[in-house]
Amino acid sequence: MLDLIVVNSITTKIKGLKLLLGYVYKLRPNLEQSAKIDSWLDKLRATYNWSLADRINTYQQRFIQGEYCDLRTRSVACPLTCCVLNNSATGEPWRKNGEKRTAKEIQITALPQLKKARPWYREIDSTVLQQNLERLNKAYENFFAGRGFPKFKNRSNFKSFTYATGVQLKGNKIYLPKLGWMRYYNSRPIPDGFKVKSVTVRKKADGYYVSIRIENSSIPSFPILPIDEVKTVIGVDAGVTKLLHCSDKSVIENPRFGTNPKTKRQLKIRQRRLSRCKKGSKNSKKKATQLAKLHHKIKQKREAYAWKVAHKIVKKADCIVVEDLNIQGLLKRCKPIKCEQTGRFLPNDQSAKKALHRSIIDASWHSLFQKSEYLAAKLGKVFLKVDPKKTSQTCPKCGYADKENRNKEKFVCLDCGHFSDSDWNASINLKNRAISQFNLKIKQPRKVRQDLSEPKQLSLFETPSPELTEVQRRQHSARNSKRDVPGNPPTQLSLWDIQDLA
């Protein structure tokens, strides 16, 4: 029961000799503190959206609209016609030494003016306001890196804020500036030698959580095994029917936490109850909370199972090889098919692919591989990603690749006749590609003497006989068995043998 109440997760980032860890605990605030956290989230979301709109308007006036405040009216930009000045977003763009400030620095220096104009922002810690603008600046950095333009936030996607300094820990209590001392489930003690770098408070469906980021500059990075010293390799193929197929013929089941019949029925019932409520009513908020709690419970089960599977995979070999999947590409919609004669759109199997998309999301391959990579680095093992192209269509025996080799879960090579499971076949091909691509020197398994030999394969016109088809067994002397008793011969008699009872 404790695992369902307290959720712990670890994230690691290694830079030189600095070891950064993240510990997650569940908070136990009182009613006053819970109301204050909710109020802070609303105010911080408003500041975030206003700052984003301010930066967009400034860019429009400087580089697109030029001297005009509005392209429709073509009015000249001035303080009387525009809410944003032409020279800067919220303040003086120049420092005293003559250097130009960034947009983040301009908006941070305007926070005292914000507190004077709106006194209710004084109850929020100053580092929280600054980290809120740092969050916006990080979104712009992601945009410049090609990850999409920043979006305006609503209550569903803005549920956290961050402290930079001032946090204290004492037993099972934590002190958050301007929120006071607060109890939490101290399920994992912070190791000695680590100091707190930042603390993030996050609201979820079943309560409030705190993520503590700690750092230790004296601990070196994890020793990762060199590729030259790798002796054992295992290939892992991800699937939907079975979660993972390993090259050692082991299979890991897919529990389908979000797509099994019982869970789908519960989700359908709760979603239907929510849709029948009046929007904005207290009853609708109540039903929405129940639905969110069910989604959160499914997510917790999926995360716990992913950690369990990741531990099992990493312990199998020195090197773990997985597929370098483009999951976003797998979840894209089918291209529409338009009839040239009638102009109408034809069926494109999107409804059938919809179920596959749900199964892929429920399997959570990216999260599983991410946890496996972390555990591999923690244990000093090698984690590799290989191109999965045609791994389930290539024969591992002769190397012949053809689309016709695979028929759903069956693989039959059209060239050499080799047959096996398609997913297990893909895991072997992943292993072989990693060995050839990274020049791995694998330790060959020791051959074990077999007690039973395979019967001879007969040709087309060969007549079967007992000498050809029976299995040759090793002869063992019977010790302390019933065969030493008179009447029980040590060898099996044939039809025409006569036992000598004398």
224 neighbors 417 (Cβ within 8 angstroms): no
pTM for the model: 0.76
Residue 131: inside a domain: yes
411 contacts: CB under 8 Å, gap ≥ 6: 392, 395, 405, 418, 419, 420, 421, 422, 425
Question: Which residue among 54, 323, 362, 373 is the active-site one?
Answer: 323
Question: First-to-last CA distance in the chain?
Answer: 72
Residue 196: inside a domain: yes
Residue 452: inside a domain: no
Do 382 and 274 share a structural domain? yes
Please choose, from the candidates 391, 63, 86, the residue with its C-alpha nearest in 3D space to the C-alpha of residue 239: 391
Q: Can you give the pLDDT at residue 420?
A: 86
According to DSSP, residue 68 is labeled B
93 neighbors 106 (Cβ within 8 angstroms): yes
d(CA 387, CA 406): 18
- β-strands 18-28, 12-15 pairing: antiparallel
d(CA 143, CA 62): 19
Residue 481: inside a domain: no
Q: How would you write the pLDDT of the chain (502 residues) with one tens digit per residue?
A: 333 333 344 444 444 457 788 899 999 999 999 999 999 999 999 999 999 998 888 887 777 766 666 556 666 655 544 544 444 444 566 777 777 788 888 889 889 989 999 999 999 999 999 999 999 999 999 999 998 999 999 998 999 999 999 999 999 999 999 999 999 999 999 988 889 999 999 999 999 999 999 988 776 666 778 888 888 999 999 999 999 999 988 999 999 999 999 999 999 999 999 999 999 899 999 999 999 999 999 999 999 999 999 999 999 999 999 999 998 888 888 888 888 888 888 888 888 888 889 999 999 999 999 999 989 988 889 999 999 888 888 888 888 888 888 888 888 888 888 888 888 888 999 999 999 888 888 776 666 555 555 566 666 666 666 555 555 545 444 455 555 455 555 555 555 555 554 4
27 neighbors 181 (Cβ within 8 angstroms): no
Q: Can you give the pLDDT at residue 77?
A: 58
Question: Which residue among 54, 125, 237, 373 is the active-site one?
Answer: 237
User: Does residue 423 carry a catalytic annotation?
Assistant: yes
Question: Which residue among 125, 318, 373, 423 is the active-site one?
Answer: 423
What range defines the domain where residue 245 resides? 227-437
Residue 492: inside a domain: no
- β-strands 233-238, 242-246 pairing: antiparallel
CA angle at residue 162 from 289 to 100, to 5 degrees?
A: 130
Q: What is the C-alpha radius of gyration for the chain, rounded to an integer number of angstroms?
A: 33
Q: How many CB atoms lie within 10 A of CB 299?
A: 17
Strands of 217-276 (E only): list them: 233-238, 242-246, 251-253
* DSSP string computed for 338-369: E-TTT-PEEP-SHHHHHHHHHHHHHHTHHHHH
Do 374 and 327 share a structural domain? yes
Do 179 and 255 share a structural domain? no
Reduced to 3 states (helix: H, G, I; strand: E, B; else coil), residue 111 is helix
User: Is the torsion defined by CA of 333, 339, 345, 346 positive or negative?
Assistant: negative
Q: How many CB atoms lie within 10 A of CB 84?
A: 19
Do 281 and 190 share a structural domain? no
445 contacts: CB under 8 Å, gap ≥ 6: none
Do 357 and 296 share a structural domain? yes
For 216, the token pair is 């230790």
d(CA 412, CA 415): 9
User: Does residue 323 carry a catalytic annotation?
Assistant: yes
Do 212 and 231 share a structural domain? no
Q: Can you give the pLDDT at residue 263?
A: 95
d(CA 89, CA 95): 15
Residue 94: inside a domain: yes
d(CA 491, CA 90): 100
Q: Classify residue 422 by burial, with Cβ atoms within 10 Å: 0-12, 13-18, 19+.
A: buried
Domain count, the chain: 2
User: Does residue 237 carry a catalytic annotation?
Assistant: yes
Do 347 and 251 share a structural domain? yes
